[in-house]
Amino acid sequence: MSEPEFRPGLADVPVAESAISFIDGKRARLEYRGIAVEALARESTFEETSWLLLKGALPTQRELALFDRDLKQNRSLKYRQIDILKCLPPSGHPMEALQASLAALGMFFPAKEDAWESILHLVAKTTTLVAAFHRVRHGEEALAPREDLGHAANFFYMLTGKEPSAPVARVLDACLILHAEHTMNASTFAARVVGSTQANPYSVISAAVGALSGPLHGGANEEVLEMLDEIGDHSKAKAWLEDAIATKKKIMGFGHRVYKVKDPRATVLQELAEHVFTETGRPAAYETALSLEAAANTLLGPKGIYPNVDFFSGIVYSSLGIPRDLFTPMFAMSRVVGWLSHWTEQMRHNRIFRPEQVFTGQRDQPFIPLEQRP
């Protein structure tokens, strides 16, 4: 029998049948349950989009009202859950704190918890964990969630102690919608693999957070700002890019396994960001980003390398005063919905993942006793 073909990174290898989201990478099209993500970012809310992803169809008014109520009622953390955050090193990365605290969260709920209950806890409390860790690492008390605020606005409040203006709440809500789901990426696959073992959903989401934390995946938005700092000024963007290409540097926030045109999420986020910038002023990093994008259109465009969603998300967050190391946790706060949608789908037709390998090592080697080894 011939060896199966090995595809590094499982490129183009289907690992599941899924009805959750769809990408046409050549036409810049991303749909959640058949609906264009741009329409959702402009017209929907994170709560409504979450229901759509998790349940498969837009909610009725009553379903949405009950879901919204249930999320609000599940936002708060117990004292001991906050104490866990206080025990973590304040200098550690918030993604590590999130991964650890989500895994620990599962210990507070019954092993055979109803799946929907787990989903409510995870969607509602991930946001609270991110905000609470940020406050306790700075020696401040975690703020209790407010039931009069929507999901995104409440996050901003729990983080900063301030209520966001309507445009700021809107752009944050849209960012959550845009990051909620994205077909079979590395963290979603990690969630499916862990879920396929029938591990509890808190372990599933904790594993997915670990996968998302890497700089080639969710960690890119943080590195984009570092790159824009390094460029310094928009007038230097073209020369910097030429040098980066010559020295084979990866341009953070550019390129995508699936999109060979500009990521539709980047386009809609840019549009929403412009609204926020009328309030906060256009940050210098945005001017640099625009010059870099213009130069990249000529230099990288022919290779199908264009901005992805993370090219702009970090600029928006930092214009709102959100620290860089919270960008990826904010991505996780949103993507938890996509991961749980895939977990739900996986559990419906589950078979444990057990892929194949192409063996390249030696065989039939003798065991040489320690004293006889050279």
Angle of helix 115-137 relative to helix 94-105, nearest 10 degrees, comes to 140
Q: What is the smallest separation between the CB atom of 266 and ligand ACO, expressed in angstroms?
A: 9
Question: Which tokens sit at 68?
Answer: 């919204």
Q: Which is nearer to ligand ACO, 181 or 310 (CB)?
A: 310
**Catalytic site residue 121?**
no
Q: What are the DSSP calls for 164-190, one per residue?
A: PPHHHHHHHHHHHHHTS--SS-HHHHH
By C-beta, is 38 or 68 nearer to ligand ACO?
38
CB of 307 to ligand ACO, least distance (A): 9
Which two three-digit tokens encode residue 71?
């999320």
The answer to whether residues 97 and 318 touch, using CB atoms and an 8 Å cutoff, is: no
| 122, 102 contact by CB (below 8 A) | yes
Crossing angle for the helix pair 220-231 and 237-246, nearest 10 degrees?
120
Nearest-approach distance from CB 155 to ligand ACO, in angstroms: 19
Residues paired with 36 in a beta bridge: 31
Closer to ligand ACO by CB, 118 or 318: give it: 318
Stated length of the chain? 374
Place of tokens 């419906």: 348
Per-residue tokens: 112: 């055979």
Q: What does the binding site for ligand ACO look like in residue numbers (CB under 6 A)?
A: 9, 216-218, 220, 250-257, 303, 305, 308-310
**Distance in Å, CB of 87 to ligand ACO, minimum:** 30
> Of residues 121, 134, 151, 256, which has the active-site annotation?
256
Nearer to ligand ACO among residue 252 and residue 332 (C-beta): 252
- Decide whether 213 or 308 has the Cβ nearer to ligand ACO: 308
Q: Between 145 and 219, whose beta carbon lies closer to ligand ACO?
A: 219
Min dist CB 309 to ligand ACO, Å, is 6
Of the candidates 319, 336, 48, 22, the residue with the CA atom closest to the CA atom of residue 174: 48
- Sheet strand arrangement including 29-32: 21-24, 29-32, 35-36
The two three-digit tokens of residue 304, written as one number:
């199908």
Instruction: Give me the least distance between CB of 182 and ligand ACO, in Å please.
Output: 7
Tokens describing residue 282? 């256009």
Shortest Cβ 254–ligand ACO spacing (Å) = 4
Contacts of 356 (CB under 8 A, 6+ apart): 4
Active site annotation includes 243? no
- What is the C-alpha to C-alpha distance for residues 96 and 106, in angstroms, rounded to an integer? 16
The total of other beta-carbon atoms located within 10 Å of residue 217's CB is 16
Q: Which of 351, 345, 368, 332 is nearest to 94 (CA)?
A: 332
From 68, 182, 310, 342, the catalytic residue: 310
Comparing every residue's Cβ against ligand ACO, the nearest one is: 255
Cβ proximity to ligand ACO: between 90 and 304 the closer is 304
**So which residues are the catalytic ones?**
256, 310
